[in-house]
Structure 1
């Protein structure tokens, strides 16, 4: 879980002192028990986010006996920290897909994500879910004249693929722009209120859900794969679905070199003006994402997001929130900023998620990852592909999203860049000269320090208690960096994150940072 605090204190800039998600504050997810004994089921699902829960829902409704295992609490990770745009407009992706793949693949990508929206709408109607769902047009706008050509190419791709929308000179939101690409008939919702409403349906269909149950590995020997928890309990299944964000099980290291983690930031802003509707994303850097959020109790909040960067490789993280605050003050009548939070997601080499068999040799172990910050539709689509694979049904999009695919143009280039970046940070952390000592760390401050000539991580809480950890990531040995905005230790190589006391917040790391006792 993320290091958070429920206090409502603000810093000098008017930003909340501690991260807090609007989605979590305005929803309640039914608590589930911890796994207490060995089990045998048809399908074991690892990960209690939108992909895992929707996979459990589809399969349990089809009569399959499922057990879902979540290391923390349901819906506490990326699903709770998204901007929750339910859209197939995933930045300027369609022109890129046509160039790097072909028109057929680009068309399939659009259709898969568009069908995901239709499926969500059908579930909302079937279960009468109150989740702030509303249809909205989605816009990508140009902040500079130089970007117009990119928008025009994307609009041309829309025309080729038959996507409703295209280039427009103006848009409803009053922010400076030089045209936009609009995709008609998209949507937004409250992700936790939506997904939480499906949990009772899973249980009623005979599904099992367990929280606070961390999975350590998968045992492949024997007639069926078996999930092993950190407490030594075993869940044997015909299939295992890995929906845990970063694939925790990667026996031969096939995915560490094909994924990188990125963080982005969101402010929840109360404004004194009427919102004109629509969902917005800037085509230029730094990114600016804007939408209105609503909860079932009638609460409304303007979400201003962006400032993405690779995990563990940014500047002082509170500065990203400050940049979003400055943008909000310039363009909206800001009355208060009661919420701020950040999200982390994984990006593949070719921007298409990996969904399907872990390897051809392991057809009973499947995964879903690499949603590239567009998980609200990509995760829904992934759950369909995974369920169809288990049920041995054809899926029109399985080949496009297959983890075994390879496309030379984007894959080779991006793999070289990505692995060079990992190597750079692996070396840099080992040779960095640290001059700070634990005595230099003030209250509610953290940073890298030197203890007996060795690198260490220090955080001192409000009471003065000092926490010291070894900064070597327990995944593959990179050195973690302090994230001031979230009060966490983040790995710049593969995106693992740890709380200030060393406990794992996000994988692929499974073990906490080693604690250090100050002599």
Structure 2
């Protein structure tokens, strides 16, 4: 890495660490070593899986939850943690695609999730930094005003309580804003720590460092893990962000992965109450949380498709520039990024996997609004497993296909995949492994073939085959998170080639043993 590059990012924390994980501790759990039989097996230790495990254990179900890494180490641990039914500009779009009645169902599902969380936190007296906040959409452009006007009309059609504003309490040249009152925010890991205790107190079992690789059987499905241990269950819920088991759903072709970025900073001047999101491009999200008795401002945005675009550190830099213009005393304490999955029609896939696997359920594709969508998913899946009716089942059904916009988005996404696949195969790279400096990752040429190189701070060189193990696209280096990211379907790998996020299940191939600085290939 050049000195200029290092200097440009000197005010940013060296490594990405989410505030939530740095300020709250969860207990650790063992890996699964022996076969197990339960009523419900849940794969995925984020908010969806933990919430469902909590609800089902309270219902008297014998539950086992497994997590490939550590609990809450994925998207849930990297969220902005807004609990709201205001999911950006969505309701006018939903009305045009699925009609007023179903668009209203979407709003009500999110509102029900917020109400459930609010009441549970109150009843259980959870100390999770929960506060009621108004949620604002705002714009600084004439184009945005028209979009907000259309969204406000949609609110009125759907009976959504919303107010039009000409300004907000931020020092921005805002032309218009739309507010949804009585939404909320919280500390997600403090909340989930309480649910985790509820799972174990009610007899549920939790296993970390346990990778699910397949499901066998139908009427009594069995989760097969990488270690060979199996969990036989009456029902299986896949809550693993990207479904590790496809079941014929072809989810990789019906979703795309999107990355966004967050800075957490102390500011001397007071930050107002409320949660704020711009409708302009690039997106800007602002909310606060309390740290050491002071407000810590979370500044988010800079979304892009995973594995595509400019050097990822520049997204953090763009947020820093925005923050310094708004808050001259900006003191950045944390930075992190998150990966979200977007479905063809922007509505999550929640419910039974179609086909022969009638006892297998899935929840994925939350489109950046995981706190309410995940809770709605847990409530829906719990009802389905307990054989209770749920009025949202059809809306979220994974087997649905909305002709408009699904066909258009399906074609455009898969054309982009083909483009990325071909582009990666024909890229030319002249750098050699020995040219890679400490804490730098790059595409290099090894014996005339494309390879990925990262040299760690101890001078050790790590070389990998850059061909994604999912469908063969070529991964790109993400300096902001020290990872190899696939531009086709969003798989991510560590600098050692280990799988961080699916749909890939197998690690990238190591080209050689790690070598010390100065060694050549």
Name the counterpart of 1:453: 448
> How far off is 1:333 after superposition?
3.1
Distance in 1 (CA, whole Å) between partners of 2:167 and 2:102 is 30
Matches within 5 A, 1:332-351: 332-351=327-346
Report what 1:181 is aligned to. 178
- 1:275-354 matches, within 5 Å, as 275-294=271-290, 298=293, 300-354=295-349
Residue in 2 that maps onto 1:238: 234
Asked if 2 retains the 8 angstrom alpha-carbon contact of 1:173 and 1:277, the reply is no
Distance in 2 between residues matched to 1:330 and 1:130, nearest whole Å: 34
Matches within 5 A, 1:62-461: 62-220=59-217, 223-252=219-248, 254-294=250-290, 298=293, 300-461=295-456
Runs of 4+ in 1 over 3 A off after TM superposition: 9-13, 297-300
Q: CA shift at 1:33, angstroms?
A: 1.4
Q: Is the 8 A contact 1:38 1:235 kept in 2?
A: yes
Could you tell me how far 1:336 is from its partner in structure 2? 1.3
How far off its partner does 1:165 sit?
A: 1.1
Residue aligning to 2:497 = 502
Pair 1:245–1:12, CA change in 2 (3 A): closer
RMSD: 1.3
Is the contact between residue 323 and residue 330 of structure 2 (CA under 8 Å) also seen in structure 1?
no
* SS of 2:182 mapped into structure 1: strand
| 1:256-277 deviation digits (Å, cap 9, x = unpaired) | 1101000000001110011111
435-444 or 93-102, larger mean C-alpha shift: 435-444
Q: SS in structure 2 opposite 1:101?
A: helix
TM-score computed with the length of structure 2 as normaliser: 0.96
Structure 1 position 10, deviation (Å): 9.1
Structure 1 residue 180, shift from structure 2 partner: 0.7
Unaligned runs of 5+ in 2: 1-5, 513-519
Cα displacement (A) at 1:251: 4.2
Once the two structures are superposed, residues 223-269 of structure 1 have per-residue CA deviations (whole angstroms, 9 ceiling, x without a partner) of 41100000111100011100000111114352111010000000011
Q: Does 1:24 align with 2:21?
A: yes
In 1, Cα distance between equivalents of 2:273 and 2:47: 25
Deviations 1:33-78 (A, max 9, x none): 1112100101100000000000001101001111000001100110
Q: State the distance in 2 between where 1:298 and 1:402 align.
A: 44
Q: Contact (CA 8 Å) 2:266, 2:296: kept in 1 or not?
A: yes
Measure how far apart 1:422 and its partner are: 0.7
C-alpha distance 149-73 of structure 1, shift in aligned 2 (>3 A): same
Report how many aligned residue pairs link the two structures.
Answer: 509
Structure 1 distance, partners of 2:238, 2:293, is 36
Distance, in Å, in 2 between the alignment partners of 1:451 and 1:299 is 52
Q: CA deviation at 1:322?
A: 0.4
Instruction: Tell me the TM-score normalised to structure 1 length.
Output: 0.96
SS at match of 2:253: coil
Distance 1:76 1:348 in 2: 22
CA contact (8 A) 1:355 1:368 kept: yes
- Deviation of the 1:12 alpha carbon: 4.6
Q: In structure 1, what is the equivalent of residue 517 of structure 2? A: none
Q: 1:75 touches 1:192 (CA, 8 Å); kept in 2?
A: yes
Tell me whether 1:465 sits opposite 2:455 in the alignment. no
Could you tell me how far apart the structure 2 residues matched to 1:299 and 1:497 are?
35
